[in-house]
Structure 1
Amino acid sequence: MKGLRQTFAHDTWVMPYLRKYKGLLILVLFLGFMTFFSGGALMFNSGYLISEAARRPSSIIYIYVPVVLARAFGIARPSFRYVERLTSHNWVLKIVSDFRKKLYQSVEKKASAIQRSHQTGDILSILVDDIEHIENLYLRTVFPMVIGWLLYVFIVIAIGAMNWVVGILLLLLLGVIIILMPLISVTTNGVREYRQHQIQHTFYTNLTDEVLGLGDWLISGRYDDFMALQKKPIEQIAKLRRHDHYYQWWRSFFVQVMVLLSVLVLLVWSAYSFTATKSLANWVAAFALAIFPAVSPFLNISQGASEWPVYRRSIERVNQLDAGGDGHPVKQTSLSEPFKDLSIKQLSFQYPDGDRKVVDHISMTIHPGEKVALLGPSGTGKSTLLKLMVGDLTPDDGSVEINGQNILSLQDVRSSLFGILDQQPYLFDTTVMNNVRLGNTNASDDAVKDAIAAVGLKDLIESLPAQYNTEVQEAGQRFSGGERQRLSLARILLQDAPIIILDEPTVSLDPITEKKLLDKVFELLHDKTIIWVTHHLAGIAHVDQVRFLEHGNFDMQGTPQELYKQEARFRQLYDLDRGK
């Protein structure tokens, strides 16, 4: 129960939709209850009708009403079932629509760091599994469990009103199915379900990684090893599913036994209570048969409960997408005035599994139009500092503020504050025009063409047969690395954000292409505030100040000219990059 409360303490994916569509939820539960109630009433009425007809009444009038009721309940059950299915799936389709939109918005807010914080397989697992699991949480757990509980309460109260001893016996016998079996399912079969989810999630992650490197597998002649890696998780999942199948069979058998005992209790009680006359004896079969339609919802309760560990993990994973570093959803506000300054105040951060602070009480202020270079060897915390700046991570101490407002409260307007050009900009498998327009979906065709011209690609694009409607192919394979960077730069020009982050955008380029791209970037973004993360000093003359990050602190800081004169280490690195 404690785990259940913790899961939903800061949930933004399940409970909000239960409240948003509560009217439709109540209707679904009512229709579900009436489906099984009609089935039970049909069996109850049929038991009476068969017994009464077997007595060969002298007039049809004696069985006319039961005959009519049999037809009525026979029609009512599939009708309620059909409408319940329509209503519940209408509910789910509304939820799916909201989920897809919410997932996109959650990923969009972390787009600048999504590849650093999640592998491709992670996102694939969320898209394929986690969203489906939350949908199934309603269809296979919430709805069946509530309907089953309603039937349980109705049966116990109805029988208990006629005989409290029998009511208590049914309370205990059916309680084993309603309460004990779901708890056992959670602790036994639920563990297998959770293990299967873990294997499948790891399989997605590893498979995408291995497929992306498929060429290297083939070149190294390790095709058989590649196939063996895929077979192992598939065999593990198949084994778990076999165990799950066996467990479900035995669970179903046990539920049937408990229902049989309940039927025997009703049969003994009704035989004792309704055999004083031949007419009363007609009710014996009615009570004995009425319990059978409840078998299905009672079985569904245990099955839904056994899947809860998987659903819980999925709920936690999707909630992490739109939560701050502490796991709590971030309150959204907006920037009240144009950008004035970005202040980093005594910022500290340490990863939970780390043994040192990656960022240790760093402070600095960046003003509009200022160009700042963040340097340092790999692994010194440059990328972590960027994540803290844009709000992808929550600091342990200190804060990042824009115009005095904490960046964590500005996530809703982050795209209007930051433009990001990193080392691997992604181009989608669509046209050049669509890819560049991603920076501003409201931009006109002329504005997009002007941005492309500004980055020096006008002649290249217009020389192609389809020109601006040229398909860039998956991940932009149609163009070279430098050309992909320029198309991404055109996006940033359209976006027109005041702060531009350059996260080692030239790391994969040759020196000549690197110099041309850097010159073009600083030329086009001369009026923007630029935070440039790099590991070497090519193009450093473009910036106003340099901050050298090492051991969580700024080891060197100042203008490039000052550091070249005063710091031998900086001078050595600068000359080395220039080939001296």
Structure 2
Amino acid sequence: MFKIPLREAFAQDTWVKPFMKKYKNALILALALGFLTFLSAGGLMFISGYLITRAASRPENILMIYIPIVFTRGFGISRPVFRYLERLVSHNWVLKMTSKLRLKLYQTLETDGVFFKRNYRMGDILGMLAEDINHIQDLYLRTIFPTVIAWLLYIAIVIALGFFSLWFALVMALLLFSIVVVFPLWSLIINGARQEREKQLKSALYSELTDNVLGVSDWIFSQRGTEYVALHEESQAQLLNLQEKVRRFNNRRDFLVESVFGVIVVALVLWTSQTFIGNHGGPANWIAAFVLSVFPLVDAFNVLPSAAEETNRYKDSLVRLNEVPTRTEAQLTETFNGIPEIQIQNVSYTYPNTTKKVLDNLSLRLPVGHKLAILGRSGSGKSTLASLIRGDLAPSEGEITLGGIETKAFGDAISEQIGVIQQTPYLFNTTILNNLRLGNQKASEEEAWDVLEKVGLKTLVESLPEGLLTMVDEAGLRFSGGERHRLALARLLLKETPIILFDEPTVGLDPITEQALIDTFFETLSDKTIIWITHHLQGIEKMDQVIFIEDGQLEMSGNPRELAKTNPRYKKLKTIDEGRL
């Protein structure tokens, strides 16, 4: 992937900068409080050093002791107060910003999710997105805040020393420049490549571990468990070795930084000894004052090299977030023409890392209220077509639109237009009412009873001791297969989606239950668009159109009653399905 500097990533950013502008006053306040914290710490040690040495000699006036004592108390109180306020304001600012950032991500991630599914495995997605928001959070708390505060202190120290001695201010400027610029740049250059390699190894481990955990039964049954453990240990060893190199470099760098501070201390001792001889009661007063004031400032500067080398991961997170489309549901609503007609135009689909087309140049039109049955052998592309219609996958070629908008652009908003009933609808371990309200959280009990009556479950639920408040066992095991499907249908009726997609909903049901369920579906959904994926032809006469997909292509299409009269292949399928062959 093309690498861009953090500065350019910020320049092109449309995710974080808007929140920085929105909360800029809190940001400025946090930086000011951070600066005042270290200024108070330095002032406390400066006054304390002067007070200690001044009190050891005979003061000419009690005010020579009393006034520094007052300043010491003032700085002693202000330092923890400023520190507490800085932490409170900075963390509140960051958490407020990242909470908005998370909300924005959750609202738009599904839109980009279709592209991730096309190009990456589950482990890749985990490796790329699991920690991005946390990285952005750390960018401010561990890099931007400390760096800006250190630069403010750097400028203040050089200016303050310039009032005493211009040449010594320049010397300190050079020494501190090595800590503020040289060491961070060195860390960024040396450890930058290592961190990039570390990220690659972690991503590989994410993918490898995820794939192998999902397929752990295959490893066990093939008696290759030891081989899997060895493979994982090898990858882990590479990562640990790289991290050890980073730690060794950081230790050497930190030693050099501390050495520079040692040089600064010695330089201050020599300079104060030469500058203040014979003045203000002797040099000792000012030697202690200037030297002691350096130590609390060490904490402000020695974090800069580590902060700088972290910018690579922050940059990658920032780039990835900005690659996520930000078309919101509100924008989709503005574009949506309100007519949920589905258009499938010259659609082909090929799974990643393969060349065979699962679907090949397929075109269909589903007007409002149309009833479509999709037939085909296992692996023929039926479920893939359903995923494309839902927007879970994006076509390799062509496009699928709903109301004039490509389905892949809807993201979570697609659930407002297309409802799905799977082979085994899932019911949660909560009340019947709560299970129904998954379709509409604002639904009243009266509305719940109404949809239960439509799907033929009102009498059953009324017979239960607690009615709508009856607890449903995990996965709905207290209900039969047909009852679970009816509850799932009731859930969709509360949601009022104009399109319903059935993914082989009658598999495993006995013929009587199957026919009763099909009758319920079509009676309650007569005004809806229905897409029915099936390999079973019972109830097929209720459909407006039947298509048969084979090898990714449309092999048969037409009205079921007309096909039964004119199409030999359909006649044969019908005969086999009815058990008459």
Could you tell me how far 1:525 is from its partner in structure 2? 0.9
Which residue number corresponds to residue 171 of structure 1? Answer: 177
Q: 1:15 to 1:254 in 2, by over 3 A?
A: same
Q: Are the structure 2 counterparts of residues 65 and 551 from structure 1 closer, same or farther at C-alpha, using a change threshold of 3 Å?
A: farther
Residues 248 and 10 of structure 1, relative CA distance in 2, 3 Å threshold: same
Residue among 177, 180, 188 paired with 2:194? 188
SS of aligned partner of 1:140: helix
* TM-score, normalised via structure 1 length: 0.80
The reply to whether residue 494 of structure 1 matches residue 494 of structure 2 is yes
Alignment partner, residue 295 of structure 1: 298
CA deviation after TM superposition for structure 1 residue 45, in Å: 2.8
Query: What corresponds to 1:31 in structure 2?
Result: 33
Paired residue for 2:401?
Answer: 401
AA partner of residue 257 (structure 2): V
Equivalent pairs, count: 572
CA RMSD of aligned residues (A): 4.5
Query: How far does residue 329 in structure 1 lie from its aligned partner after superposition?
Result: 11
In the alignment, does 2:346 pair up with 1:365?
Answer: no
Residue 494 of structure 1 deviates from its aligned partner by 0.8
- Say whether the 8 Å CA contact 1:112–1:420 is kept in structure 2: no
- Of 106-115 and 2-11, deviating more is 106-115
1:429 aligned partner: 429
Alpha-carbon distance in structure 2 between the residues aligned to 1:467 and 1:124 = 42
| C-alpha contact (below 8 Å) 2:179/2:301 kept by paired residues | no
Structure 1, unmatched stretches of 5+, are: none
Distance 1:29 1:49 in 2: 30
**SS of the counterpart of 2:372?**
strand
| Residue 77 (1) aligns with residue 79 (2) | yes
CA contact (8 A) 2:187 2:306 kept: no
Which residue among 47, 51, 57 is the counterpart of 1:45?
A: 47
Q: Deviations over 1:447-471 (max 9, x none)?
A: 1122123223333333433332122
Q: Per the alignment, do residues 65 and 383 of structure 1 end up closer, same or farther by CA in structure 2, a change over 3 Å counting?
A: farther
- Give the match's secondary structure for 1:448: helix
The CA deviation at 1:521 is 1.8
Q: Deviations over 1:374-404 (max 9, x none)?
A: 3334444444433443444444554333443
Q: Report deviation, 1:528.
A: 0.5
CA drift of 1:83 comes to 0.9
Whether the aligned pair in 1 keeps the contact of 2:329 and 2:410 (CA below 8 Å) is no
The alpha carbon displacement at 1:259 in A equals 2.5
User: More displaced, 349-358 or 425-434?
Assistant: 349-358
- Per the TM alignment, residue 501 of structure 1 is displaced from its structure 2 partner at its CA by 1.8
**Per the alignment, do residues 108 and 377 of structure 1 end up closer, same or farther by CA in structure 2, a change over 3 Å counting?**
same
Specify the SS of the correspondent of 2:333: coil
Deviation at 1:81, TM superposition (A): 0.7
- Provide the C-alpha distance between the structure 2 equivalents of 1:230 and 1:461, rounded to a whole number of angstroms: 54
- My pick for the range that moved more, 131-140 or 433-442, is 131-140
How many Å separate the matches in 1 of 2:377 and 2:11? 41
Offset at residue 156 of structure 1 (A): 4.6
Identify if the C-alpha distance between structure 1 residues 206 and 295 changes in structure 2 by more than 3 Å, giving closer, same or farther.
farther
For 2:522, the aligned partner's letter is F
In structure 2, distance between residues paired with 1:392 and 1:221: 33
Q: Quick one: distance in 1 between partners of 2:482 and 2:119?
A: 25
Look up the match of 1:255. Answer: 257
- Are 1:332 and 2:360 matched, yes or no? no
Which of residues 141, 146, 149 is equivalent to 1:147?
A: 149
Please state how far the C-alpha of 1:27 moved relative to its aligned partner.
Answer: 1.6
2:118·2:394 contact (CA, 8 Å) conserved in 1? no
| Counterparts in 2 of 1:204 and 1:421: CA distance versus 1, 3 Å | same
Deviates more, 1:487-496 or 1:22-31: 22-31
Q: Does the CA contact (< 8 Å) of 1:548 and 1:554 recur in 2?
A: yes
- The 2-side partners of 1:68 and 1:273 are apart by 27
Residue equivalent to 1:459: 459
2:505 aligned partner = 505
Given that 1:196 and 1:240 are in contact with CA atoms closer than 8 Å, whether structure 2 keeps it comes out as no
CA distance in 1, matches of 2:302, 2:309: 11
Counterpart for residue 441 of structure 2: 441
- Cα deviation code 1:259-278 (max 9, x no counterpart): 22333344444444444646
1:542 partnered with 2:548: no
Question: What pairs with 1:74-113 in structure 2 (closer than 5 Å)?
Answer: 74-95=76-97, 97-98=99-100, 101-102=103-104, 104-106=106-108
SS at match of 1:2: coil
Distance 1:92 1:487, change over 3 A: farther
Q: Which residue of 1 aligns with 2:63?
A: 61
Q: Residues 266 and 577 (structure 1 numbering): CA distance in 2 closer, same or farther, change over 3 Å?
A: farther
Residue 389 of structure 2: aligned partner: 389
Which has the larger Rg?
2
Taking a change above 3 Å as real, the CA distance of residues 66 and 553 of structure 1, as seen in their structure-2 partners, is farther
Q: Does 1:578 align with 2:578?
A: yes
Partner deviation per Cα, 1:25-51 (whole Å, 9 max, x = no partner): 222222122212221222233333334
Match of 1:21 in 2: 23
Q: Match for 1:188: what amino acid?
A: R
Shift of 1:434: 0.8
For residue 494 of structure 1, what is the amino acid of its counterpart? L
- Deviation of 1:441 after TM superposition, in Å, equals 1.7
Distance 1:290 1:278 in 2: 18
Q: C-alpha distance in 2, partners of 1:351/1:7?
A: 32
Shift of 1:440: 1.5
8 Å CA contact 1:376–1:549 kept in 2: the answer is yes
Distance 1:116 1:478 in 2: 38
Q: Secondary structure at the match of 1:56?
A: coil
Indicate the residue corresponding to 1:483 in structure 2. Answer: 483
Distance in 2, matches of 1:84 and 1:51, equals: 32
| Further displaced range: 31-40 or 114-123 | 114-123
Is contact 1:191–1:309 with CA below 8 Å preserved after alignment? no
User: Shift of residue 334 of structure 1?
Assistant: 3.1
Q: CA offset at residue 80 of structure 1?
A: 0.6
SS in 2 for 1:188: helix
What is the TM-score normalised by the length of structure 2? 0.80
Structure 2: which amino acid aligns with 1:46? S
Q: C-alpha separation between the residues in 1 aligned to 2:121 and 2:409?
A: 26
Cα offset, 1:530, TM superposition: 1.1
- Classify the secondary structure of the residue corresponding to 1:90: helix
The answer to whether the Cα contact below 8 Å between 1:48 and 1:286 also exists between their aligned partners in 2 is yes
Name the CA distance, whole Å, in 1 between partners of 2:290 and 2:93.
35
**Equivalent position to 1:283, from 272, 286, 289:** 286
Distance (Å, rounded) in 2 between the aligned partners of 1:527 and 1:56: 100
Superposed displacement of residue 352, structure 1:
5.0
Secondary structure, in 3 states, of the residue corresponding to 2:303? Answer: helix
Q: Take 2:483 and 2:8, find their aligned partners in 1: how far apart are those partners?
A: 48
- For 2:484, give the aligned amino acid: R
